[in-house]
A = this chain, B = another copy of it.
Amino acid sequence: MQVILGVSNRHVHLTQDDYKTLFGDEPMNKVRDLRQPGQFASDKFVTIQNGDRQINHVRVLGPLRNYTQIEISKTDAYTLKVDPPIRTSGDLEGSSPITLIGPKGELHLDKGCILANRHIHISPEEVKKYHLEGVKKVKVKVDGPKGGILYNVHLKILEPSLLEMHIDTDEGNAFGVKTGDVLDIIEIERDE
């Protein structure tokens, strides 16, 4: 079984309220669609800040969600001197405090910053088609000079979704892969 890859650069998801704090009444516009249905890269950017450390020009993804979440790489975490946990989207309890700065205001969040776990977006139909019922995680193989195997690639079953594996830029760089590459799922992890 094969899966197309998407390498996620650092990005931010916002609630309606938090968007308003950062951008006021400016509308959020779509710049391009992402592969996952309905998801898009917006024309809005924020600065992520922790103490005297910051990363500028971090893109806000749309649409607005019911949680605000900041997804960075471990390399970014060193830059910002934060130590975020490895999490699934939306699982933010105990995640890292962080500050967001927009053109109209600032947000001092007491949680929300994570390293996203490796995951595969897959629909319930595809789960059936590929006989993955009950499977939580798989192993994925990468060829090439920086090849290897990624363990703990979580299945994220959502309707609607298109089959796609997401890793962060550290993982993309470490394995020498990029968005659009096709990888092989080589093994199912039955244990937790």
Tell me, yes or no, whether A152 is within 8 Å of chain B by CB. yes
The dominant DSSP class at the A interface is mixed
Encode contact with B along A117-154: 1 for CB under 8 Å, 0 otherwise: 11000000000000000000001000001111111100
Encode contact with B along A170-187: 1 for CB under 8 Å, 0 otherwise: 110111100000000000
Number of A residues contacting the other chain (C-beta, 8 Å)? 24
Contact A75/B148 with A174-B174, A174-B175 known, Cβ cut-off 8 Å: no
Tell me if A75 and B146 are in contact (CB < 8 A): no
Tell me if A148 and B146 are in contact (CB < 8 A): no
Known: A74-B174, A117-B145. 14 other contacts (CB 8 A): A73-B75, A74-B173, A74-B176, A75-B169, A86-B145, A86-B176, A147-B151, A148-B150, A149-B151, A168-B174, A170-B170, A170-B173, A170-B174, A171-B174
A-B contact pairs, 17 of them (CB 8 A): A74-B174, A75-B75, A75-B170, A78-B173, A86-B145, A117-B145, A118-B146, A146-B152, A147-B151, A147-B152, A148-B149, A148-B152, A149-B151, A168-B174, A170-B170, A174-B174, A174-B175
